[in-house]
Amino acid sequence: MEILQYTDAHKEFRQAVKKFLENEITPHVEEWEKNHIVPKEAWQKMGKAGYLCTWVPEKYGGMGGDFLYSVIIAEEMARTNHSGLATLLHSDIIVPYIASFGTEEQKKKYLPGCVSGDIITAVAMTEPDAGSDLAGMTATAEIDGDEIIINGSKTFISNGINADLVIVAAKNPAEENPYQAVSLYIVEDGTPGFKRGRQLDKMGFYSQDTAELFFSNCRIPKENILGEPGMGFMMLMEKLQQERLMCAIGGQAAAELMLEWTIDFCKTNTDAAGKPISKQQANQFAIVEMATEIKMCRAFIDKLIAEHAAGENVVVETSMAKYWITDLDKRIADRCLDLFGDFGLTEDCPLARAMRDLRVLSIFAGTNEVMKGIAAKFMGL
């Protein structure tokens, strides 16, 4: 019995996405990894095909799909085994801020471009000295007549190089309460005072354009404030359930993919005695143990997807899923590498990239220690 009720339309959509990715994305991944960036044309191809922001209403250029379409895209993108084309981040984490909190004018101005891929988005929260503690950010935003002046720096910003639009979290220095001081602002590419720093070299996520961003007397019109002034912290908190759920969904798909690679390798390669690696009992037990954990997580994540889509509050359970599944990815990658042996250490083995890329999942979107703290708080501990 399936927990998620995929319709025929959903299933046809998944097959179309698979075919598109096989033809238009996967063949270019090695080039993008080597160049450490994905060309904007790839985003536009995704948009033209209808695979960005599938939930956006038709009046803003979207298809008005339900949450399962987002899940399908996230799962199939995970199977491309690369991180540069961060459609999950754009479509289901950043753009929802505009749709939920933006004015009608902002929605009309930005959402069609977000759907088409002509506008690539980033969200700038993390600072050199403020990561999971959003209240500790030091970037400021001050009103000056009809403008807002932003000063400060942000780091580890995904899509930082390609971004055409950045949602920036900054504080009003006149507000003493740090939780009421934060507001969100829309900063467009080319705005005077907004500069990109270096693209960061990372242990993984090679094709992901993660960058530093700098704001020096960056002036934006007052109409570029997103939502109500002083409500930035609450807006960020409201969207974190979906952000962490999407992180868990991607991690679940990655775990399933790594196990598929490993089972195929063990069936088609032989040991020193000339027998398939999969015929050794120790290897069989390892595979069964991994498969069991992955299937248990699949049941859990599918239940959360259904509950989230129904509008339920699953903050605690999502925090649990995010930490457990992203930790599971590390265990699965490590154990699969043992079964691959020497081949697993080469760049010809897809597991090498997966191990590098997946390591960060337990850190971003709130560290897994933060996830446990959230769950503990709501459990009254």
Lowest mean pLDDT among 214-228, 291-305, 317-331, 362-376: 362-376
pLDDT at 253: 97
Q: Are 171 and 139 in contact (CB under 8 A)?
A: yes
Q: Is the pLDDT of residue 131 over 70?
A: no
Last residue of one domain, picked from the residues 228, 250, 284:
228
Domain assignment present for residue 38? The answer is yes
DSSP state for residue 190 in the 8-state scheme: T
Q: Is the pLDDT of residue 118 over 90?
A: yes
Last residue of one domain, picked from the residues 202, 228, 254:
228
- Residue 164 and residue 70 share a domain: no
pLDDT at 65: 97
CATH number for the domain spanning 215: value is 2.40.110.10
Taking only the tens place, the pLDDT of each residue in 310-321 is 999 999 999 999
- Residue 374 and residue 239 share a domain: yes
Taking only the tens place, the pLDDT of each residue in 71-116 is 999 999 999 999 999 999 999 999 999 999 999 999 999 999 999 9
Q: Does pTM top 0.85 for this prediction? A: yes
Taking only the tens place, the pLDDT of each residue in 21-36 is 999 999 999 999 999 9
pLDDT at 364: 87
- Residue 261 and residue 372 share a domain: yes
- Residue 270 and residue 167 share a domain: no
Q: Which residues are catalytic?
A: 243
pLDDT at 272: 81
Instruction: Decide: residue 232, CB within 10 A, 0-12 exposed, 13-18 middle, 19+ buried.
Output: buried
Containing domain of residue 338, as a range?
A: 234-378
Based on the structure, what is the number of domains in the chain? 3
| Predicted confidence band of residue 132 (pLDDT cuts 50, 70, 90) | low
CATH number for the domain spanning 44: value is 1.10.540.10
- Residue 165 and residue 38 share a domain: no
Last residue of one domain, picked from the residues 201, 228, 255:
228
pLDDT at 365: 86
- Residue 171 and residue 245 share a domain: no
Distance in angstroms (rounded) separating the CA atoms of residues 288 and 91? 35
